[in-house]
Structure 1
Amino acid sequence: MGITCLVRWKNATGMRDFTYIAEHVTKTLHGRNGGPWSLTMKMYREAGAVQRQGKDGKVMYQVALGQQPGQLYCMIDGGVVIEAEKEMESILSRLKNIWQLRQSITIEGTSFDIDDFTLRVANILVGSTYKGLLLEIDYHPCFVPHNANDLFREFVESILPPSAQLSCDYDYSYEKVGLSNQEFTSAHTGYQYMMLFKKDGLL
């Protein structure tokens, strides 16, 4: 699997910039189209007594990655990231008195294979509002978090124009949420999504 880096191109302009990246990757960097990919982000809010007291209650983020079918990654209020089976969604739907679904976003895009990298690109739509371009970058030869930060920066600079306004983080505190600082997993990617969407107010 390797390690992953997420970037949001905040001031991208929709399909024009999506096409710009696709053409640059395939024509200049000789990348190959790897086909479609998708992910779903959901936000649940705690229901019941806490809310009735005038408080918002706890928030749970949930990520389903297209490249990991059958798995979900969840985090409540910045706590430990847990991995669960897909069936958890149907369980939550029956626990509406505990958790209420407040927002759900499905993002669909295209993946590209470029030497040791896989680049996944998609437009972000929250409802009907455009929120920029999402880039998910996998670097396959490395398995240790934080060991390829400079390489990710160089890669991002090679595919995006200098005018691009970016939202990204290269140094996550994985141990705070129960994840390893020695071996990267899909749960690390899920955590990056939760933090990006939370920080940028996308959910």
Structure 2
Amino acid sequence: MGVTILTQFPTENKTGTQVLEMLSKRILALGSSPQGHFLVDCETYTSVPQLGHQRTVHVLHNSEQPATVFSLLETGTKTIPLATDGLFDLLMMKMSHFYTSKKLTKAECKGPRYEVGDFCVKLGTVTVSSNFKGVLVEVEYRPCVVPALCWDLLKEFIQGFLGLSAPLNPPNYLQNRMQDVYSPIDTIHQYLEHFTVFRKSLGVRP
């Protein structure tokens, strides 16, 4: 796993399918080859009032790491990341008396993935509670694990097929972690950041 940048692409009144078709043509024109599909999903749980201070647990799955369940516990003052195996899903089900699932906030991002040279590109439509909300583009540069060392290269590559819609600066989450070693949980943080924005646009508290 290398460094991943996640960015939103404007839909401009187009459907998700139309945007993905357009972006797929652009990335194929760069000489990429289709490599299946991907899926990232997120379900959010909130603690019951009897536990005192409210806690929120975001549980995410990424098809790139099929044996891992990612969770982010928000305590109000800090966020605690955790990577576990599939038994964590069963644990959350058994803790239903303490944490309740917020079904209206279930988010998914899925679509085709492509490989071109040292890059992996994923084009995903985002739905929140089955409502289409937007398109996310994930670009991974595999040979590097420190964002600061490959940000300029990533930016140039992304500009090659996103044009003016490409980000000029690193994602908010990464801006304070540019010198750190990148890991899969950093990708999960970026997805949650975007899912939270999409949820708010539905008027639903994340």
TM-score, normalised to structure 2, is 0.82
Q: Which residue, out of 60, 64, 68, partners 1:63?
A: 60
CA contact (8 A) 1:10 1:165 kept: no
2:124 — aligned with what? 122
Distance 1:168 1:196 in 2: 14
Q: Which residue, out of 123, 143, 147, partners 2:145?
A: 143
Amino acid paired to 1:87: L
Distance 1:9 1:129 in 2: 17
CA contact (8 A) 1:10 1:131 kept: no
Distance 2:175 2:96 in 1: 32
Distance 2:130 2:70 in 1: 26
CA contact (8 A) 1:112 1:120 kept: yes
Q: How does 1:82-97 map to 2 (within 5 A)?
A: 82-97=82-97
CA drift at 1:181: 4.8
CA drift at 1:136: 1.3
Distance 1:128 1:69 in 2: 22
CA RMSD of aligned residues (A): 2.5
SS of aligned partner of 2:145: coil
Distance 2:191 2:19 in 1: 21
Deviations 1:137-195 (A, max 9, x none): 11011011332222222222211243x48797163445xxxxx9532211221122222
Q: How does 1:45-194 map to 2 (within 5 A)?
A: 45-49=46-50, 57-77=54-74, 78-102=78-102, 103-162=105-164, 164=165, 169=171, 171-174=174-177, 181-194=179-192
Amino acid paired to 1:121: L
Amino acid paired to 1:136: E
CA contact (8 A) 2:51 2:98 kept: no
CA contact (8 A) 1:45 1:60 kept: yes
SS of aligned partner of 1:81: strand
CA drift at 1:50: 5.3
2:203 — aligned with what? none
Select the structure with the greater relative contact order (CA < 8 A; seq sep ≥ 6).
Answer: 1
CA contact (8 A) 1:62 1:194 kept: no
Cα separation, partners in 2 of 1:108 and 1:99, compared to 1, 3 Å: same
Distance 1:187 1:67 in 2: 12
CA drift at 1:196: 2.5
Q: Where in structure 1 are there 5+ consecutive unaligned residues? A: 175-179
CA contact (8 A) 2:59 2:69 kept: yes
Aligned length: 192
TM-score, normalised to structure 1, is 0.83
Cα separation, partners in 2 of 1:184 and 1:30, compared to 1, 3 Å: same
SS of aligned partner of 2:137: strand
Cα separation, partners in 2 of 1:155 and 1:122, compared to 1, 3 Å: same
CA contact (8 A) 1:109 1:123 kept: yes
SS of aligned partner of 2:26: helix
Distance 1:47 1:155 in 2: 46
SS of aligned partner of 1:147: helix
Q: Where in structure 2 are there 5+ consecutive unaligned residues? A: 201-205
CA contact (8 A) 2:59 2:70 kept: yes
Amino acid paired to 1:89: D
